[in-house]
Amino acid sequence: MDQTGYVLLSRASAMLRATDVLATNMANADTPAFRANRPVFATQLQQQRNVRTAVGGQPVAYALDRATWRDGASGPLSTTGNPLDVAINGPGFFAVETPRGERFTRAGRFTLGGDGRLMDMEGNAVLDTGGRPITFAPNDSRIEILGDGTVRTENGQVGKLRVVRFADEQSMQAEGNRLYATEQQPETVARPNLLQGSLEGSNVNSVLEMTRLTSDVRAFQMVAQFMETEGKRSSDAVSRILGRAA
């Protein structure tokens, strides 16, 4: 494959990656507290040796897949009326206990486990400010979660939800569609603004994602057509050279 083919291939690979990211965003348009991802690309220049750049020409540039950027904007808040649904209206993450260690999430759709523990959607125990699972007694029926994270029932205070924040949220590693892992030291949010009976939705705009996906698909088709044309050109050139040699 000649240099032109490699440049086109790098562009096609970049478009395929962008399409995968957009498809994931659209699939999670209804996932609570999901944050949309954006691919980050760069241009890598290659200096050709012993070749002068033609008048009006440009250096050869390849598309380089650098990273994925996470959109940190909060999703819309909706009222559910479920006392175990909790939304963070502002910065912060809930802490949960998983088999892999402590993880963090903004998806506040909680449930009660058979042992009375407050659980997230994946069955992980929700932790209090002391790092212990929040557990209700069998006779606790009226659950109230205050704005500062205090959890109480008609029998008294049960605990306080641990809400933390991090200096660099972009470096947090996503595990699935709701959990994040990080080696950063969490900073406790002193005054979290929690809303009981509400849920943060995904910040994915389905219409915008569909528009981007359509644009990327068309760009990919254009690159594919260009590759086909370039392949035919190279094949014709080889045929002519061999014909002359014969």
Comparing 2-6, 93-97, 155-159, 208-212, the range with the smallest average pLDDT is 2-6
Comparing 65-74, 82-91, 116-125, 161-170, the range with the smallest average pLDDT is 65-74
pLDDT in tens, 198-219: 999 999 999 988 898 888 888 7
Q: Which of 103, 3, 116 is nearest to 49 (CA)?
A: 3
Q: Which long-range contacts (CB under 8 A, 24 or more apart) does 11-15 make?
A: 11/63, 11/223, 12/220, 12/223, 12/224, 12/227, 13/63, 13/65, 14/39, 14/41, 14/63, 14/64, 14/65, 15/216, 15/219, 15/220, 15/223
Q: How many CB atoms lie within 10 A of CB 153?
A: 15
pLDDT at 66 over 80: no
pLDDT at 3 over 70: no
CB contact at 8 A, 63 and 41: yes
pLDDT at 132 over 80: yes
Q: Cα angle at 223 between 63 and 67, to 5 degrees?
A: 30
pLDDT in tens, 152-200: 999 999 999 999 999 999 999 999 889 999 999 999 998 999 999 999 9
- What is the model's pTM? 0.77
